[in-house]
């Protein structure tokens, strides 16, 4: 029998880990510079937590049961878990709270037989407790800073406003609203044409679908619609956000009010960051504002505003691999310590520990015996180990450079 991980899962070998850590370490440095602190939440959650009040479909969750028949699941994303943690474990903290994570998530797919991935890695941030324009701008500029730290070019931001889009959908009959929403989300004009809508409503659906492109043009189109006061205020806030972003310099932006995300808890801005590749556009991350999500878990139902994003490590890996920016081999050891005979074991272990206690990171291997001197030297050459320390029983040592 050949033992393999289950369909949709995969093992990460040392080089895979080195490349994944290369990405995560650079992102973590950016998060630290912006004042964000790491949070780690449970991989396993109750189903009602993961569904976020219905905003996340049960069908996306890989489900489990414990001995008490309690419905559990593996997290399909991090925001709901962090929202639950914030209101149950961080009561009384001063806001805003700036949090970041590096973690795995699990998403059920229909193509089990095709071995489609079900486990993914993400790194992202959540900015909790601030509902203003500046918080939205901070998160988007932080996102841009992350991409710059990874030296990713040819990316652009697709920016929507979930609150505006949802309010524009309210004019459609309740029994057809989800179908209109899905057609717009998939840019499916044929589906809109086939829905039993009046010509006026069909035109309205097509107009929403076309609210995508240059920010000036899109804002002009949406402003021409019959907006009520809350809708107009949201559009004005979006205009201010776009102006702030574009004033920061070269911020590639497409405004898209037809943007509808899979996870339906966004109440304000929602966005995707996309990179053009030879194989087509690749989504590197997404996020948005969710001002009612924390209230789902708060004992008194208190809403605490939040905004954040997740970057997809596998997709970043694919882009960076094309540029050959990732490590191409695991880091070599700096030293190989060899006991010259059986009586030198104690001295060899002591010398290896002395090297490891260096102020700077030093990778030190012990030779485990069973090889002659030439085989030891060949091993060091094969592994690109810089120096060999030959240790005698009295502790005296001769150093050999392996060039």
Q: Check whether 113 has a pLDDT greater than 60.
A: no
Q: Which of 264, 288, 323 is the last residue of a domain?
A: 323
Same domain (yes/no): 112, 239? yes
pLDDT (0 to 100) of residue 111: 55
- CATH for 370: 3.40.50.800
In a domain, 104, yes or no: yes
Same domain (yes/no): 386, 297? no
Q: Check whether 112 has a pLDDT greater than 60.
A: no
Tell me which of 111 and 168 has the higher pLDDT: 168
pLDDT (0 to 100) of residue 1: 64
Q: Check whether 64 has a pLDDT greater than 70.
A: yes
Q: Is 77 annotated as a binding residue?
A: yes
Same domain (yes/no): 287, 202? yes
In a domain, 376, yes or no: yes
pLDDT (0 to 100) of residue 273: 96
Rounded distance, CA 126 to CA 34, Å?
A: 12
Question: Which residue range(s) make up the domain with 251?
Answer: 14-323
Query: How many Å is the maximal CA-CA distance in the chain?
Result: 94
Same domain (yes/no): 75, 108? yes
Q: Is 101 annotated as a binding residue?
A: no
Question: Which residue has tokens 């440095």?
Answer: 29
Same domain (yes/no): 244, 389? no
Rounded distance, CA 18 to CA 15, Å?
A: 5
pLDDT bucket at 255, cuts 50 / 70 / 90? very high
Q: What's the Cα-to-Cα distance from 208 to each of 135, 166, 266, rounded to whole Å?
A: 27, 11, 18
Rounded distance, CA 269 to CA 134, Å?
A: 12
Q: How much is the pTM?
A: 0.89
Number of domains in the chain: 2
Same domain (yes/no): 363, 318? no
pLDDT (0 to 100) of residue 299: 85
Same domain (yes/no): 367, 255? no
In a domain, 6, yes or no: no
- CB burial of 132-145 (b: ≥16 within 10 Å; e: otherwise) equals eeebbbbbbebbbe
pLDDT digits (tens, 9 = 90+) for 230-252: 888 889 999 999 999 988 877 89
Same domain (yes/no): 318, 341? no
Q: Is 122 annotated as a binding residue?
A: yes
pLDDT (0 to 100) of residue 226: 80
When computed from its CA atoms, the radius of gyration of the chain, rounded to whole angstroms, is 27
Q: Is 88 annotated as a binding residue?
A: no
Q: Which of 298, 323, 348 is the last residue of a domain?
A: 323
In a domain, 28, yes or no: yes
Q: Which of 323, 358, 374 is the last residue of a domain?
A: 323
Q: Is 265 annotated as a binding residue?
A: yes
Same domain (yes/no): 226, 364? no
């Amino acid at each position: 029998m050949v033992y393999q991980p289950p369909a949709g899962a995969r093992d990460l070998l040392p080089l895979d880990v080195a490349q994944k850590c290369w990405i995560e370490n650079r992102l973590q440095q950016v998060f630290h510079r912006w004042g964000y602190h790491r949070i780690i939440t449970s991989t396993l959650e109750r189903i009602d937590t993961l569904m976020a009040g219905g905003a996340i479909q049960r069908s996306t969750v890989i489900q489990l049961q414990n001995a008490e028949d309690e419905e559990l699941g593996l997290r399909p994303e991090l925001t709901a878990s962090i929202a639950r943690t914030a209101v149950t474990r961080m009561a009384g903290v001063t806001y805003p709270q700036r949090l970041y994570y590096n973690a795995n998530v699990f998403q059920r797919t229909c193509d089990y037989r095709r071995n489609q991935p079900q486990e993914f890695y993400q790194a992202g941030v959540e900015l909790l407790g601030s509902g203003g324009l500046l918080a939205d701008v901070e998160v988007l500029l932080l996102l841009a800073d992350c991409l710059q730290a990874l030296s990713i070019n040819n990316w652009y931001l697709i920016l929507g406003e979930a609150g505006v889009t949802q309010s524009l959908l309210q004019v459609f009959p309740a029994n057809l609203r989800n179908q209109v929403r899905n057609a717009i989300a998939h840019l499916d004009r044929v589906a809109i044409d086939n829905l039993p809508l009046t010509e006026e409503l069909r035109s309205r659906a097509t107009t929403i679908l076309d609210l995508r492109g240059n920010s000036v043009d899109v804002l002009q189109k949406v402003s021409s619609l019959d907006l009520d006061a809350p809708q107009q205020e949201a559009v004005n806030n979006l205009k201010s956000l776009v102006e702030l972003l574009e004033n920061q310099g070269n911020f590639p932006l497409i405004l898209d009010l037809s943007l509808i995300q899979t996870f339906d808890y966004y109440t304000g801005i929602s966005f995707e960051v996309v990179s053009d590749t030879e194989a087509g556009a690749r989504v590197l991350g997404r996020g948005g504002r969710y001002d009612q999500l924390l209230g789902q878990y708060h004992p008194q139902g208190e809403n605490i505003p939040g905004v954040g994003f997740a970057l997809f490590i596998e997709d970043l890996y694919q882009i960076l691999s094309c540029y050959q920016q990732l490590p191409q081999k695991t880091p070599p050891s700096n030293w190989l310590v060899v006991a010259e005979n059986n009586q030198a074991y104690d001295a060899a272990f002591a010398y290896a520990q002395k090297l490891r206690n260096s102020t700077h990171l030093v990778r030190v291997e012990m030779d485990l015996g069973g090889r002659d001197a030439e085989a030891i030297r060949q091993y060091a050459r094969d592994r690109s180990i810089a120096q060999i320390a030959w240790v005698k029983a009295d502790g005296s040592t001769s150093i050999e450079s392996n060039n």
